[in-house]
Amino acid sequence: MSITPAKLSTISLATFGAFLEASGTVIEKIVLRKHKINSKIYTTFEFLAIVLSAIPIFLILSKIFPAVFSFTITHEAFQLKNLLILATIILFALFANLLVFYAIKWEKITELEPIRLAQPLFVIILALVLYASERETPPQVLIAALVASLALIFSHIKKYHISFNKYALAALFGSFFFAVDLALSKFLLPFYSPLSLYFIRSVILLVICLFVFRPKFNVASKKSWFLIAITGFIWVLYRAILYYSYTARGVIFTTLLFLLTPIFIYLFSYIYLKEKPTIRNIIASIVILLCVLYASLINGYI
């Protein structure tokens, strides 16, 4: 029996995707901090888990959701232009992962979440610039970006100085690099199935990390490997759903759908990491969330 993802309700898809993203983020935090694994080594291990997790997902779910999980690559994917786009995606994805893992290893997730919430706004702006189908270029988008940026700075002001430490900056640049990675991916989705694109991207990133970082696999305990394996499955499912939604509903509307993630992150961080969000964190997150919603609204995606 084949089920088309279009039959799933928008709310269900968004909630499940947001749940996956929040779950993966919190588990990463647990492994990086409590299990004391170097962020560069963790990056390598996670790509390994993603690649290995994708194989059974290909074999099982491709029969149920072929539009999302089949292994499909057309000959156009090997044109020089598309290979250069893939190389650019891989470069930005590599630095994005390294920066974000470095940040969440040493800083509270609740403290970084207002910064990470800037990523959807970056994605929306890049989508407007890159794709005519998603572009109307209203000036209100620029205003929303300015307001979100000010809210971001406000959330890190402590008394009389700005608390924008190196971990916050790493999270900010990492979020922007992830936004570039995500926005560029739509160029290649006509030539790959959603899971195929993520699989090829992850395989190449794994090879690069193995060559550059040369990790020793015994530095992670059995419990750490178990948690890393779980995140591998989570990110494969999450990114496949995200990519499919890009093709079915567009980048901007998809970005809006996945904005439930911070709610789950705050909840999971409080339950499992005992991290309480500050009032400023909550206010900044709400402001940035409203800016992204507003940017989506004026482009007719709500």
Question: What is the CB neighbour count within 10 angstroms for residue 205?
Answer: 22
Per-chain mean pLDDT for the chain: 81
pLDDT given for residue 271 in this prediction: 79
pLDDT digits (tens, 9 = 90+) for 107-155: 666 666 667 767 888 888 898 889 988 876 567 765 776 677 667 667 6
The count of residues in the chain is 302
pLDDT given for residue 114 in this prediction: 67
| Contact in structure between 117 and 289 (CB atoms under 8 Å) | yes
Helix (H, G, I), strand (E, B) or coil at 73: strand
The amino acid sitting at 276 is K
Residue with tokens 């992204």: 292
Phi, psi of 162, rounded to the nearest 5 degrees = -90, 125
The token duo for 137 is: 């270029």
pLDDT digits (tens, 9 = 90+) for 232-272: 999 999 999 899 888 887 787 777 767 767 777 777 777 77
* Domain range annotation of the chain: 5-297
Give 1: exposed, middle or buried? Use CB within 10 Å, 0-12, 13-18, 19+.
exposed
Give 295: exposed, middle or buried? Use CB within 10 Å, 0-12, 13-18, 19+.
buried
Residue 140 CA to residue 94 CA, distance in Å, equals: 32
Q: How far, rounded to the nearest angstrom, does the alpha carbon of residue 147 sit from its chain's CA centroid? A: 23
Three-state secondary structure string covering 176-191: HHHHHHHHHHHHHCCC
pLDDT digits (tens, 9 = 90+) for 123-133: 888 988 899 88
